[in-house]
Chains A and B, each alone.
Chain A
Amino acid sequence: MSSARDVTDASFQSDVLESEKPIMVDFWAEWCGPCRAVSPILDQIAAEHSDKLDIVKLNVDHNPETAMKYGITSIPAMYVFQKGEVVKRVIGAKPKPALEADLAEFLA
């Protein structure tokens, strides 16, 4: 499983909404095959761009409040937050080059 840091309903405000850097939240669940498939790719992107973008993960089963607040209906859902606002939504497992293209503005 992903080595990304877990965020929770309780920590979302301080960890994500008050983050200085752009931060991407990977909404995932244990039972979601595509989530497991994409998580090592997110780890790679996080490692290669740690100066530009933080990547954390939120288990939707354990943290339904946040998942519901952001209207998650399909996972993996990868939302980039900047200054407390959602600035980018990427949905579904994609190969690394496709994810990098989606996230280009935050990785450059």
Chain B
Amino acid sequence: MRQIIIIGSGPAGYTAAIYAARANLHPLLIASSVEFGGELMKTTEVDNFPGFDEGIMGPELMMKMQAQAERFGTEIVYDDVTSLELAGDVKKVTLGDGTVHEALSVIYATGSAYRKLGLEDETRLSGYGVSWCATCDGAFFRQKKVAVIGGGDSALEEATFLTRFADKVYLVHRRDTLRASAVMQDRAAADPKIEFLFNNEVAHIYGDEKVSGIGLVNTVDGTETTLDVTGMFVAIGSDPRTHLVHGQLDLSEVGTIAVEGRSSRTNLPGVFAAGDVIDPTYKQAVTAAGSGTVAALDAEHYLADLAPELLALAAPEAATV
């Protein structure tokens, strides 16, 4: 039995772990088997994380957070949570290998998952020209034409990154203005390889074995056009990963986990949520890290108020599971 289990290994999870470990709560962090480190593992330069004045590579930043959490005694397991029992004083966390871990409190920081366009051929051609990760797949599009779908920071970052390889990058956005930050917009606008196609939605993805083009529909006048691209990178946002807690934790109207005010407290005592999974708006590494701090402090207060006989179950010497 543990005092605390943290689920998730992005900025929220690791920051919660740093705080919980420094409070001598001996946290166990479930990092996932293949997605450990979270979204930043798929990015390149991160220029907006305070303290790194020259910027830092996303994966390196996550390795540093992990090392910092481990330095204070966080134990990390590289597996996936398959089910959760969050009601009651003792929470149960079941992993992919069948192991069941118990704890008096849980911080849920699973982040979000890439949103799909919802087209039939999108899944079929995923990995064959349709991609959600420019840093993983961009290099296969040397001297090719590609399209990036979306209008936020990640779409513009992907478009700018892809100009390293591709001859031409179309930025397809369904509105006439971008959500991306001014600095990202300026950078993309100044790039001669990037062409903006506003007010356009993807209606078709063509190709038998691999992507050979995409069909666009103008959202204003209905005009249809075809782009002869061999790659399509989808960056239209993400949805909170809540499937493990459906029916246990209350969700907000927009599908994030509902928390009380500015705290991380969910509807269940001893269960706290942090990071993108509670945040429909900001979704930054720094805000997630801040949110992880809040969750660790909330959990610490919760544990401090528990009955001594419960806490005794999770004494460090009993924390063998």
Contacts and interface: CB of A to CB of B under 8 A. Distances in A.
Nearest to A90: B127
Interface string A72-86: 111101000000000
Given A73-B141, A91-B126, A96 B33 contact: yes
Given A34-B34, A73-B231, A74-B137, A92 B209 contact: no
Contacts of B137: 73-75
B34 A31 contact: no
Nearest to A94: B34
B217 interface: no
B144 to A, nearest CB: 9
B293 interface: no
B127 A71 contact: no
Interface residues of A, number: 26
B36 A37 contact: yes
B136 A37 contact: no
B96 A73 contact: no
A91 B127 contact: yes
Contact of B35 (A35, A77, A93, A97): A93
Interface string B205-230: 00001100000000000000000001
B42 interface: yes
B49 interface: no
Contacts of A72: 140
Nearest to B126: A91
A73 B133 contact: no
B72 interface: no
A41 interface: yes
- Which of A33, A95, A97 is most buried by chain B, counting CB atoms within 10 A of its CB? A33
Contact of B80 (A61, A74, A75, A95): A95
Interface in A7-44: 29, 31-35, 37-38, 41
B35 A96 contact: no
B33 A73 contact: no
Nearest to B42: A33
Interface in B239-258: none
Contacts of B270: none
A97 B127 contact: no
B122 to A, nearest CB: 13
Nearest to B32: A95
Contacts of B141: 73
Contacts of B36: 37
A102 B128 CA distance: 18
Contact of A33 (B32, B37, B127): B37
Interface string B127-167: 11101010111011100000000000000000000000000
A34 B209 contact: no
Contacts of A37: 33-36, 41
24 contacts: A33-B37, A33-B41, A33-B136, A34-B42, A35-B136, A37-B33, A37-B34, A37-B36, A60-B139, A61-B139, A67-B140, A72-B140, A73-B140, A73-B141, A73-B230, A74-B136, A74-B137, A75-B136, A77-B127, A91-B127, A94-B34, A95-B32, A95-B33, A96-B96
Interface of A: 29, 31-35, 37-38, 41, 60-61, 67, 71-75, 77, 89, 91-97
Return the 7 tightest CB-CB contacts between A and B, nearest first.
Answer: A91-B127, A93-B34, A74-B127, A33-B41, A95-B33, A73-B140, A37-B34
Given A34-B136, A41-B34, 12 more contacts: A29-B139, A60-B139, A60-B140, A61-B139, A71-B209, A73-B129, A73-B140, A74-B131, A74-B136, A91-B127, A95-B96, A97-B96
